[in-house]
Structure formats: structure tokens, C-alpha cells
Structure 1
Amino acid sequence: MDRKTENLVDAPGSLTLKIFKFIIPLMLTGILQLLYNAADSVVVGRFESSDALAAVTSVGSLINLLVNLFMGLSVGTSVAVAHDWGAKDFEGVSRTIHTSYLISFIGGILVSAVGIAFSGQFLVWMKSDPAVLPLSARYLRIYFVGTTANMAYNFGASVLRSVGDTRRPLYFLAVSGLVNVILNLIFVIVFRMGVDGVAWATVASQVLSAAFVIVYMMRTDGPIRFEWKKLRVHPDKLKKIVLVGLPAGLQGTVFSISNVIIQSSVNSFGNVVMAGNGAAASIEGFTYIAMNSVYHASLTFVGQFVGARKLDRINGVIFRCLALVSAIGIFFGVLSYVFADPLLSIYLPNDPGAVEYGRTRLLYLAVPYFLCGMMEVMVGGQRGMGLSLLPMINALLGSCVLRIVWIVTIFAAHHTLFMLYISYPVSWLVTTAAHSVVYAIRLRKLKREDREPVF
């Protein structure tokens, strides 16, 4: 077995230390990715215009809406691989990998086609500011060229995480992200390509990262080896991937729908608010990525313990992950607000009005962001136990429906940014409570089934 991959169930050392070792490379990977993404915004904001910055930063929710359904299936891949890896069913690991890669290729092609064909219409539905709509549409059409490569990388990275390897995705991203930054500078500053240059730089880096992970998995030995000739659908693995991944993808899609609606509400305040909101969201992304690494830890560790039938260890994983994610969220959230002005000025050096609006968002979203992290950990625990439909329903009701109802009622009556932004922490708190109840019921059911005699 490769030294960077390990059965987390049998690895020596304390559980807390193993979780730390797992999340640190994953956290660095995510933060590095956001630094590279932030470089897109910084380059556009400094060398183009506020309209160009708004065009690039205001389309994230739409991208997520189109991509999340298939990306959710990579969560199903993570759970299926973790269960098989924990149970030492290495042939099952191989079948899952080749089934999931076929899904990623098909899904990437479909999303690319839809994104390229309908980007302009989607932006009209989002009430995008007419001043930035053409720029946003051009950016999106180019961005979606790289969707297949993006999915291939994410499916491959999910496999590596599930077998305990969080370092190689960091190495792959470090190189491809650096290429992205260099191409950004060349395309925007030297060739004056504007948002088109940023989009093409992103596509190039996505293709490179996908090539890295696929080539590595083709050359490695053992259960995670990828071979083109084995690329086929295995019905039992497809069923498991879909049962967990489809609700996860639908959950991500529904979240994105609510975010699109909220972004549309932000757009109603004009392009200055859009620019400030986008810059603040980019800063918040660092906190989210740090917390999201703990979500992946909860999913992977719980998944391997379920596969090994060591159910008594699951609560220990969740409690440690909740403590970690709360500490991370509070630290980064408060830090981002305390240093809001200098951080936002990196994106918006000549727009004090947009900086002020960005600071407002950081106060109401970044400071209580740890609640979102706790919600994610509880979701990871449920998915690690093979449960995905109920988490999706909870998310649908507790976050998405609640936010939409909030917007059409409370926000409609009090049209202020405060009333818009406060819908997020309220929904995180409600949804975390609901997820905690479902988690406890699911774990109790698994333990009861494990104790029942088999005749």
C-alpha cells in the first residue's frame, strides 16, 4: 500500500492526530485553490474595472448550480470507496473508481453543453446588471469549456481523499494553480484579454490538474489504479454512488438555487454592491474551505469506520470534528472582519463604496460562519453512514426553503442588506439542529442492526 494512502481504521496514533494529519493538506489545498481564484479577482479588479470584477465574481452561484448535481456524485464515490477501503474490499474500490470516472466524463460533457448554450439566458433570469451581463456571459461560455476536466479532477481527488491521501491533490493543485496565476497575468496585463483571459487561464489550469490526477492513477499500483479499458458501469457500484451522490448533488443544486436567488437580490442593489459582495464572498471562501476540510474528514473517517464495522468510534469522530470546525470558523471569521478594509482593498483599491458594502457582508456572514461548518460536519457524518436523502430534505427545508421564504416575505418588506444577509446564519442554525437529530437516529439504527444475529 502506498505510504500516502492508508486504512484510517488501522493506522496507529490517536484519532485526533489522525484527523489533523488528514485535514491539514486538504485545508492547504483548498486555501491554495482560493488564493489562485482570488488572483483572478485581484488581477481583474486592478487591471480592468469594477464592472469586469463584478462580471467574474457574480457568476459563482450560477456555475455551482449547473455543476453541483454531478459533483454531488463524487460524494457518492467518496462514501463507496471509503466503505470498501475500510472493509479491505479492494476489488470493490477498483469497480467504484471506473464507474465514477465514466460518470464524470458524461456529466462534464452535458454541463459544458448546457452552460455554453444558455449562459446568457441564465444571467437574464438572475437579473444581472445590464452593464456587466455581456462580460459575465463571455466569461461563463469560456469557463464551461473546462467543466469536463474540472469534474475529472474532482472525482479523482475524492478517490484519493477516501483512501487517506490528501497530499497529492495539494501537489497537483499547487502546480496547476501557479500556471493559472501566470496565465492570468499574461492574458490580462500583456494581451489585454480582460475577463476572457481570466476564463481561458482557468480552463488551462483545470485541464492540467485533471491530467495530473489521471496520469498518477494510471501509473500507480494497487486498488486505485485507473485503466481506460476498465472504464464501464458496474450496476452495484452505480447504485451505491447514486443513492448517496444524487441526493448530495441535488442538495448542492438546491443550495445553489437559493444562492442564485440571493445573488439576484444582491444584484438589485446595483454594481457597486455586487462588487463589494463578490469581494467579501471571495474572502469568506477561505474560511469555508478551511471548514470544508473538516467535513471531508468526518465523511471519510465515518465511512471507513462503517466499512470496518467499528461503529462505536463514530461519535468520537463527529465530536472532534465539531470542535475543530467551530475553532476554525470562529478564528478565520472574526479575523476576516477585523481586517476587512485592507483585505477588501486588495480587490477594490479604488472603490471605497464597494469596500463598505463588502465589510457589511463580512460582519453578518463571516463572523457566524462557524455555524455553517457545524452543519457541514453533521452532513458528512450522515453521508459517511450511507445516508443522503434525509440530509438533502433537511437542507431543502432548513436552508433553501427558509431562505427563499425569508426573501419573499421579510426581505421584501424590509429591503436592506442586513435583512438579506441575516437569512444565512438563521438557516445554518435551524439546519444544524435538524441534521443532529437525523444523525443520532441513523447511528442508533446502525448499531442496532450490527447487534442483530444473522441466521
Structure 2
Amino acid sequence: MESKKKKAENNLTKGSVIRVLFTFSVPFIIANIIQALYGAVDLLVIGRYCGPESVAAVSTGTQVTQIITSLITGLTLGSTILVGKYTGMEEEEEVKKTIGTTLTIFAIAAVILTVLMLLFTDRILILLKTPEESFELAGTYVRICSLGILFICGYNAISAILRGYGDSRRPMLFIALSCVLNIAGDFILVKGAGLGVAGVALATIGSQAVSMVTAIIYLNRKKFIFTFRLKNFRIDPAKARELAWVGIPISLQECMVRFSFLYLTSVTNRLGIYAASAVGVASKYDVFAMLPATSVANALAAVTAQNYGAGKPERAKKSLAAGLLFAVAASSLFWLWAQLSPQTMIGLFSSDPAIIEAGIPFFRTCSYDYLAVSFVFCMNGYLNGRSQTIFTMISCCFGALALRIPIIHLVYTNWPDNLARIGAIAPMVSGFMAVYTAAYLCIQFYQEKQRIPDASGQRGMK
């Protein structure tokens, strides 16, 4: 009876489309909000108790560590999609093989990434044109955070597996624990112990370690479908190839997008410490404002994977429509705030008048991206759930490398002190991406309709 109940709770292929998407997405959104609090609280505490050089160091260091996070979350989303597909097909053994392969690969990747980050931290910061006043502090932040890559990999892999299995609630609880510990650690180590940037980084990796270990102990005690024992950590060659085929394109697109924003950071770092700090604050709001779209997109990947695995493509399409409506409505609240009172947004992180003055024009233009990416993320989430990750990879890489980076260079070269024009680049690129992604989906839907016979046995006609 208990087994049947668990299957019912994890099933995303039955019941009201809106209810299923909503109940699955809400814990996802809450978890992402909590996770975004990591960087936000780090910057808030540093802004309150340290100088502008520390603010710039943490904002630049966070951009670097987000490359690693993007790489990891892209690969783990591949696991979500495959676990969701096999769950929809009710192939329990395939689910177990996917989980074992995912966790083993990520353990190996964590070790490699840690070594690479420790070796190349200074070179990365030089490429980013990190201000001289912040260089040493930024290096400290990145190196300490790099020591926690194993915990980032572990937590994200476990959460992705659970979501593919139809469970978005427990990842939310694990990250909530981590966030509470992180906030407490920030105040204890920064305000109390006076460790500054190093204290923020130590609080981050310590809280992530506790979250990962707690998740493993809890799932073992609750007799999860996969038992966390050393003998179960094996790489199945077929599953490894499948994970690579689905996950690597997602990871690559995430990294390319992040690299394009790193280039933006390198450009604004050349404009001085106040501009760099203002853009760093804006990047924190990007995370929160885009959370509804990011969360719904990831939820759509799991919902779509399960429904296509179960042979129910129409449910997936209805979920996409519902997700788009919700994501755009939620993101518009941040857009309105940025248009009406950007100074209050910046003031939450820094009371320095020079940072606020530098940030106002940037916030007013870049905030249009909150709306544009809602369309891009949701459509990409749906396509990722169908394992069409090659298209989303090409689309995102084109947007980042062929559009965003060249346009940033062009604007900076001609209007180096105009943060308003620099801020307008992101929404312009996202808007263009939304148009050609929507066109691609419309073509796909039309082709699918032509392939489905109608009641008289003839192909459906327009």
C-alpha cells in the first residue's frame, strides 16, 4: 500500500495539468528562492560589515563560482530528464542504473573540478579584469568555495534525481536546512569573528556539506529506490552515454550563457569599483527575478519527460502553456519594481550613494530581461524534457557567443560609461531568442499534427 502511495505522489502524468504543474513547481520555486538567498545574504552581510572592495570581491567571485554551478546543474538536469522518462515508463531497474551512474560520474567530476579551480583561480580573475583592490579577496573567496565543489555536486545530483522521480518537496527541505546554516554562519563568521570574505565562503561550503550528508542519511532511512552504498556506485556504459547525450548540451549552454555574463562583469569591472558593485547587486536580483521562469522551466523538463515517457504528449503541451503564463506574471512584479523604484532595490544591498547612482540606469534597462527570459526558459525547459537538448544548446550558445558578447563589446567600445545601454543588451538578445524558439516550436507542433491520423484514418489537416 505504501509503495502504491509513493508511486501516486511521484506520478506527473495523471490528474489536472495545472494542479500537477503547480504542486510540483511550488516547492521547486521555494527551493530556488532559498538557494538564491545564499549569494544574496553573502553580499548583504559583506555590504553591511565590510567595504566596497569586499562587495566587488564577492560579486566577482560569485560570478566565477556560478560557472561551476551552471556546469553541474546542466549535467544534473540530464539526470532529471532520464529519471523522469524511465519513471514514466515504469522501468524501475533503469531508474536505479541512471541514479548510480549519475552519482558516480559526479563524484569523479567534483574531484577534477576542484583541482582545476584551485590551479587557475588567479588566471580567471585576471581575465575578468578584477579591480586591484578586490583581487586578493576575490581569490580567497573562489579558492575556499572551490573546496566545496564535492558538496555542490552531491546536493545538486541528489535533488535532480528526486525531481525526476516526481519529488520536488524533499530537495526544498534539504536546501532550506543549508540556507539557515549559511545565514547563521555568515553573521557568526563575518560580523562575529571578523573573517570578512573568507567567513562568507566558509559558511557557504559548511552549510552545503551538512545539507548533502543529511540528504543521504535521510533517504537511506526512508528506503529510497536507490540505496547509498559504495557497491551501488557504478557507471553503466549505456546510461553514461545517454546522460552525456542529454546532459552535456544543457551544461554547455548554461556555461556559455554564464561566460557571456562573465564577459559583462569583466567590462563593468573596467568602469571602476562603483559600477562593478552596482552590476554585482543587479546580478543578485537577476537570480530572484528569473526564479519563477527558471523553476518552471526545470519543472517542465521533469513533467514533460514523464509525460512523453508515458505516451502523453498533449499533457506536456498544456503544461508548457500553463507554465509560461505563471512565469511571465511572476517575473513582471520584479520588472515593475525596477521601473518604479530601482534605488530601493540597490539600497537593500548597499547604502553607498555612488553605487546607487551608478546602478539606477542599469537596473531600469536590464530588468526587461526578466520578462523576455520567461519565454526562453520555459520553452527550453519543455524542449529539454523531450531530450531535444541539441537545439537548446545551439540556441543558447548562439545567443551568448554570436549576439551577447559581440554586442557588449560594441556598446562598451562606443559608449563605455553608459550603463543604461549596457543593461539593455540582455533583454534585446533574450527577446530575439524567444522569437526563434517559438517559431521552432510552432513548426514542430505542426509537423506532429500532420503525423497523427484523424478519426477517419487520414492524416490530420490544418
Which range, TM-score by smaller chain?
over 0.9
Residue of structure 1 equivalent to 2:234: 232
The one-letter amino acid paired with 1:425 is: P
Deviations 1:192-245 (A, max 9, x none): 111001100001011111112222332333534433311111122112211110
Residue of structure 2 equivalent to 1:34: 36
Q: Would the aligned equivalents of 1:157 and 1:213 in 2 still touch at CA under 8 Å?
A: no
Query: How much has 1:336 moved relative to structure 2?
Result: 4.4
Residue of structure 2 equivalent to 1:366: 367
The one-letter amino acid paired with 2:237 is: P
Q: TM-score, normalised by structure 2?
A: 0.92
Deviations 1:222-270 (A, max 9, x none): 5344333111111221122111100111111111211111111111111
Query: How much has 1:65 moved relative to structure 2?
Result: 2.5
Q: How does 1:159-238 map to 2 (within 5 A)?
A: 159-238=161-240
Q: How does 1:41-440 map to 2 (within 5 A)?
A: 41-349=43-351, 351-415=352-416, 416-440=418-442
The one-letter amino acid paired with 1:8 is: L
Residue of structure 2 equivalent to 1:23: 25
The one-letter amino acid paired with 1:409 is: L
- Sequence identity of aligned pairs in percent? 25
Query: How much has 1:297 moved relative to structure 2?
Result: 1.9
Matched, 1:8 2:12: yes
Instruction: Tell me the SS of whatever aligns to 1:347.
Output: coil
Distance change >3 Å, CA 337–CA 57, structure 1 → 2: farther
Distance change >3 Å, CA 160–CA 54, structure 1 → 2: same
Query: How much has 1:438 moved relative to structure 2?
Result: 3.0
The one-letter amino acid paired with 2:312 is: K
Q: Would the aligned equivalents of 2:78 and 2:247 in 1 still touch at CA under 8 Å?
A: yes
Instruction: Tell me the SS of whatever aligns to 1:233.
Output: coil
Unaligned runs of 5+ in 2: 458-462
The one-letter amino acid paired with 1:114 is: L
Q: In the aligned structure 2, how far is the partner of 1:444 from the partner of 1:23? A: 28
Q: Would the aligned equivalents of 1:299 and 1:384 in 2 still touch at CA under 8 Å?
A: yes
Q: In the aligned structure 2, how far is the partner of 1:333 from the partner of 1:400? A: 26
Q: In the aligned structure 2, how far is the partner of 1:156 from the partner of 1:448? A: 40
Deviations 1:397-443 (A, max 9, x none): 13432011212324322222122111101110111122223334455
Distance change >3 Å, CA 162–CA 336, structure 1 → 2: farther
Q: Would the aligned equivalents of 2:117 and 2:143 in 1 still touch at CA under 8 Å?
A: yes
CA RMSD of aligned residues (A): 2.0
Deviations 1:36-68 (A, max 9, x none): 432211111111111101100122332233443
Instruction: Tell me the SS of whatever aligns to 1:221.
Output: coil
Q: Would the aligned equivalents of 1:81 and 1:93 in 2 still touch at CA under 8 Å?
A: yes
The one-letter amino acid paired with 2:437 is: H
The one-letter amino acid paired with 1:169 is: P
The one-letter amino acid paired with 1:135 is: L
Distance change >3 Å, CA 377–CA 50, structure 1 → 2: same
Q: TM-score, normalised by structure 1?
A: 0.94
Q: In the aligned structure 1, how far is the partner of 2:427 from the partner of 2:446? A: 29
Q: Would the aligned equivalents of 2:267 and 2:412 in 1 still touch at CA under 8 Å?
A: no
Q: Would the aligned equivalents of 1:291 and 1:325 in 2 still touch at CA under 8 Å?
A: yes
Q: Would the aligned equivalents of 2:72 and 2:156 in 1 still touch at CA under 8 Å?
A: no
Q: Would the aligned equivalents of 1:326 and 1:373 in 2 still touch at CA under 8 Å?
A: yes
The one-letter amino acid paired with 2:371 is: F
Q: In the aligned structure 2, how far is the partner of 1:408 from the partner of 1:5? A: 50
Query: How much has 1:185 moved relative to structure 2?
Result: 1.0
Q: In the aligned structure 2, how far is the partner of 1:400 from the partner of 1:22? A: 33
The one-letter amino acid paired with 1:212 is: T
Distance change >3 Å, CA 450–CA 70, structure 1 → 2: farther
Q: In the aligned structure 2, how far is the partner of 1:104 from the partner of 1:450? A: 40
The one-letter amino acid paired with 1:127 is: K
Q: Would the aligned equivalents of 2:368 and 2:427 in 1 still touch at CA under 8 Å?
A: no
The one-letter amino acid paired with 2:241 is: K
The one-letter amino acid paired with 1:384 is: G
The one-letter amino acid paired with 1:303 is: A
Distance change >3 Å, CA 443–CA 304, structure 1 → 2: farther
Q: In the aligned structure 2, how far is the partner of 1:305 from the partner of 1:425? A: 32
Q: Would the aligned equivalents of 1:390 and 1:438 in 2 still touch at CA under 8 Å?
A: no
Q: Which moved more, 1:123-132 or 1:366-375?
A: 366-375
